Amino acid sequence: MKKNQVFIHSPNGPVVPTITHHATALTTRVPAAVIVLSEEDLTSGTTLVADYLTNTHFVDDVKKSVQTVYGRTTDLFEVAYVQFVKNTKCCKESFKSGQSLSKVLIEKKFKDLTLVFSDNFPATFFAEYLYGLTLYNWKNELKSHAVGEQPTGLFKPFTALTVVATHFNPNCEHHKYLQTIVGPHIEARELTYTRADVATPEYMANYCRKFAEKHTDKVTIEVISGDDLAKKGLNLIHAVGKGSANTPQMVTLYYKGNPEGKDDVYGLVGKGVCFDSGGLSLKQQLMDKMYTDKGGACTIFGIFKAVVALGLKINLVCTMGYVENFISDKCYRNSDIITSYKGLTVEILNTDAEGRLVLADCLAYQQDIYKPHTIFDFATLTGACIVALGGSAAGLFTANDELATELEAKSKNTHQTFWRLPLDAYPRENTTNPTADIQNLGKAPWAGAGTAAAFLEKFVEEGVKWAHIDIAGMTLLNNDIHGVRAIVEYYKAKIQA
């Protein structure tokens, strides 16, 4: 029998390519290059292309897409991709140009790449462009190849970039900062899309343990598992996870980046449903995508890891609730009334509204034990948010107008938008219940995303700044997580204030 073996494209974790700078034109031949043109270059007749390639007869309308030009034996490149950037002074367009090029290149499977820019690209262009390019140097792929043969035709991330540009400064602080947070974002994305047969709650807890073990000087970890959750009063997360043979886990990482300000603590909370069948309220659609239902927990792990990598001077606590929502003789039931860690009683009207239950106990426990003054929770929480925003933005809910303004501004400047949605009297009243304190499903089937946020709000203590970010649409529709850089930049701003 001729057998195949699985090809792991990034066996040592996320690949952030090394970036080498050449201030002057190259003189040695390279396999592949990208020639990046500006509006000024097109006006001057694309002389940059002629400087490197004798075969300049590419598609005239280079503005529409990345064009491919094959070199002759006398050219410096075997193949070149010609890209056009209209506004070299716009950060968003710089980022989008790098992102779009990356999506082209991952299909070409180059290990090394040379990027050639004219003198018309200012120094401020490169950080965002290279951030967009390296951030999407990833593909959701797990394929095999024949044993003993090379894995041809399979995705491999590019590992080295050579930038040929007069005005690029590799020591620019903004560039170095962005390349530092690329790895945590890619890693969090990789975890989100790791299938549930691998990424069980225990796997995720052990993954966090291994990270903490590498940073024992500044990171501590607490893991509460299985029936120990119920013993501590964490009955909501325990109820959701007890139907699976893979026991539920609550993981809390604590980074002490500002030991002098021990009471100055920021909090992150994430929904980590490693697989969601819906429980007894069995899902009718999209169950094959429910390995991504841990996207919120993976996102905050990425934020946390970025903060540690940057060495930011803040104290940050990160609580992740990892569970599987399954059907068994032990699973929780519709009509159960469960007492939460906070003490509020919750009637279960739908077992597929499980994410808010996990988050509720995580929120309450984090505030009780670690006392953060500001908390952001991330979750792939509601289909209603996907209906409202699709894949264009994550839903942002908070009662704090100042916080909403800050987060919206940070998100727009970092190319992953948060869009504020209402959190007012209607969704708050929609969670009330005649028997228990609250219920986990709205009385009326409207404002589903806001109703979920209103449910979570009841577990936030008075005086604590809190925002809920629903990333369901981003994870399901965009094949990505959402908001890592925005939150990191929020923290950076607070340190500088």
- Catalytically active residues, by annotation: 283, 356
**Biggest CA-to-CA distance, the chain:** 82
Assigned token pair, 131: 């951030």
> From the CB of residue 282, how many other CB atoms can be counted at a distance below 10 Å?
11
Assigned token pair, 36: 């990046």
Running DSSP on this structure, what letter comes out for residue 48?
H
- State whether residue 464 is helix, strand or coil: coil
**Under 8 Å between Cβ of 117 and 163:** yes
The whole-angstrom separation of Cα 66 and Cα 82 is: 6
DSSP per residue, 312-341: -SSEEEEEEEEEEE--STTS--TT-EEE-T
User: What is the crossing angle of helices 401-413 and 484-496, to 10°?
Assistant: 120
Q: Cβ contacts of residue 276 below 8 Å, gap of 6+?
A: 283, 287, 290, 293, 324, 325, 352, 354, 355
- Considering only CA atoms, which of 491, 484, 13 is closest in space to residue 295? 484
